[in-house]
Amino acid sequence: MHRTSKPSLLSGGGFGSDPSGEHANLSGFVNLVFLLFVVTNFRLLLENLLLNGLRVTLPSFADLLRDAEAFLDGAALQVKLHALLRTAAVLAVPILFAFGLERAAVQRTPFSRFSRRFVDPLHAINVGASLALPAALVGTERHYGGAGGGVLLLICSVTIFLKLVSWAHVHHDLREAGKESRGEAEGSLDARLAKYRSTVSDTDGASLHYPNNVTFGNLLWFLVAPTLCYQLDYPRTPRVRKTYLISLVLRTIMLWTLLPAFVVQYMLPLLETSIEPIMAGDVARILDRLLRLAVPVTYVWLVGFYAFFHVWLNLLAELTRFGDRVFYKAWWNAIDFEGYWRTWNMPVHMWVVRHAFFPIQRHVTSSKVLTGLLCFTLSAVLHEIVVAFPLHSYRMPLAFVGMMSQVPMLPLSKLLRRYTQGTAFEQAGNFLFWVTFCFVGQPLCVLLYYVHATQAVHASA
């Protein structure tokens, strides 16, 4: 019966608010949204199969035999072997040179004292070559497994570039700290390094000390470990868990098999039917293709994130017993763009802070805004290198433009967060983030890159 004034359950307060503080339980609606999500995606799956058929099939024995014969063909095999040797050379030579420089610097000979003057300039040339040579090779050669092989090679090159920068930077600091401890230089670098080392826990046995760390085994371990920042001691796990390692290997195989199949089955048909409306300038049909493309592109992005940042990096961590496995944070809850870039890729974020942000602040400018802009530009350039050289899209730097277009979004999303914090619209920044990435930026970049690649193929035919 009616005894007192009460609001409707979905009112959420206001006039006649319920003094008992009862709130609506929306778990039933959450279940409904989940069911709608499943049914909608099942319908898209069924529609795709009805329109395009099954485009991904297992190869027959005859197909495998024919591919093996083509691969082992004398002339073709020679070209592939030469490409493999060139790839190994451009990846390995900078690593060997970086190690040789540091070994020469720690030798107690007259030559080593002379060579220490040139270690830093030679490191700078070497790390530049570690990125420039593979990029030039991919940009001029076409025997690296197509665009996918070129992207993979340049991802490896960028990773080696970042690791060698850290290797050179840390050893520069260690040499300077050694001068301080011997009274050859003034400053507090030695004390800062010692203070940081005292905070590293869960290390494996005795700590390494410079120059005993300058061994090829130590450098190889760092190159394999899932980190871009070199240091003398790392948190380590007690042992390799074999069962967990096997599960990671199986997940790696399954996911990296699933992703290309998903692209072929779901993304390629949409891309193939997008050429005509783009050439005709039909805005409505282009928008339709973008919205259709948003779903599979988002799936590829999320599955790719899980496959790389969780499965692959944990696999490397388990093999090397690397202890600090925070490779990402809860970026999906980001309510501004800065929060996303701080949490999406923790190895790169830590490298940027350590080897770009603070050095720029010390030696270039004290402005945090300008320093952040320079760091963001560096990241955009590296993204563009990975994509532009394999696709030969030098005149269309979409990766660079796509990243730099987020620069004005950084202060705008911060402003939005400030004005909506504590209100019913405080998640507006998170909605803006998802819309920008999943429904505008990424589908548009994929579509434009596909159009460019298609035009390049027709032009060369």
Give whole-number Cα distances, 128 to 40, 300, 341, 379, in Å. 49, 32, 25, 15
* Residue 322 DSSP code: B
Q: Which strand (E) or helix (H) includes residue 327?
A: none
In this structure, how many other beta carbons lie within 10 angstroms of the beta carbon of residue 115? 15
For the chain, the farthest-separated pair of C-alpha atoms sits apart, in whole angstroms, at 99
Q: Write the DSSP assignment of 115-133 as a string of letters.
A: HGGGHHHHHHHHHHHHHHH
Angle, CA of 437, 406 and 260, to the nearest 5°: 35
Whether the link from the prior residue into 121 is cis, omega within 30° of 0, is no
DSSP SS3 for 233:
coil
Residues serving a catalytic function are 383
Taking the CB of residue 131, how many other CB atoms lie within 10 A of it?
A: 21
Residue 271 to residue 61: CA distance in whole angstroms: 31
Rounded distance, CA 160 to CA 83, Å? 19
240's CB contacts (< 8 A; 6+ apart) are: 318, 319, 321
CB 316 within 8 A of CB 225: yes
CA-based torsion, 360, 363, 368, 373: positive or negative = negative
Residue 111, CA distances (Å) to 55, 97, 108 in order: 63, 17, 8
* Interhelix angle 313-320/242-262, nearest 10 degrees: 160
Size of the chain in residues? 461
Q: Which two tokens stand for residue 81?
A: 């072997």
CA distance 439 to 455: 24
Tokens at residue 429, please? 């920044």
Q: How far is CA 405 from CA 336, 373, 401, in A?
A: 15, 12, 6
Distance CA 90, CA 247 (A): 33
The residue assigned the tokens 């019966």 is 1
